[in-house]
Amino acid sequence: MKSKLSPILAAIFIVACSSGSSDRSSIVTWAKQFASIHNRVQANLDQVQPLIDRISTRPPSASELDQLVDYNNRITSSYNELIGIEPPPEAKAVHNKYVETYAKTADYVRYYLIAVKQNDLSYFDKSVTAAQEANRLGDEAYTAFQALLGRYSVSCQEIDFCE
């Protein structure tokens, strides 16, 4: 009886391992796509923030307004790209949290642009609120993303997400 169970247990183990490997593979594929988008968004934010800091103390030039529009378009494009990715079921909650984060990030830049163009303080307040919400959501998303990567033993080097 013992010898008949061994092949069955071995088969169950192989199926379980290959299923886990498939899950990991889909997580890695999704995480690489996400990391690429995230790295672009972060690069844009790293450039837009000093611009916003400069023009917060004086009226912006036409060139600076054009730059703000360009950053807004880039961030919105990245947000739209992220929406277009279908995450594996195991990553759906993390993915959706990042979609929310990037929506608020795009709102932050868009509201700031409107505030500057129209000299409307209500949009400045909306921009600040959107930035705070993006930061809060981003912290939650990052924590969940790191936990997901840890659960599937995915390194930051493997997906180009080392900070």
Q: What is the pLDDT of residue 21?
A: 61
Q: What is the pLDDT of residue 14?
A: 39
Q: What is the pLDDT of residue 38?
A: 95
Residue type at position 56: S
144 neighbors 98 (Cβ within 8 angstroms):
no
Q: What is the pLDDT of residue 5?
A: 43
* Fold annotation for 24-159: Four Helix Bundle (Hemerythrin (Met), subunit A) (1.20.120)
How far is residue 145 from each of residues 24, 38, 73, 139, measured CA to CA in Å? Answer: 14, 12, 26, 10
Q: What is the pLDDT of residue 163?
A: 72
Q: What is the pLDDT of residue 6?
A: 47
112 neighbors 52 (Cβ within 8 angstroms):
yes
58 neighbors 81 (Cβ within 8 angstroms):
no
| Tokens coding 9 | 């247990």
35 neighbors 160 (Cβ within 8 angstroms):
yes
| Tokens coding 124 | 């400045």
Domain ranges (residues) in the chain: 24-159
74 neighbors 98 (Cβ within 8 angstroms):
no
Which single residue is written with the structure tokens 């069955």? 8
Closest CA to 68 of 82, 56, 80, 84: 56
Q: What is the pLDDT of residue 99?
A: 97
pTM of the model: 0.82
- The kind and range of the H/E element at 11 are helix 2-55
Residues of the chain below pLDDT 70: 1-21
**88 vs 25: CA distance, rounded Å:** 10
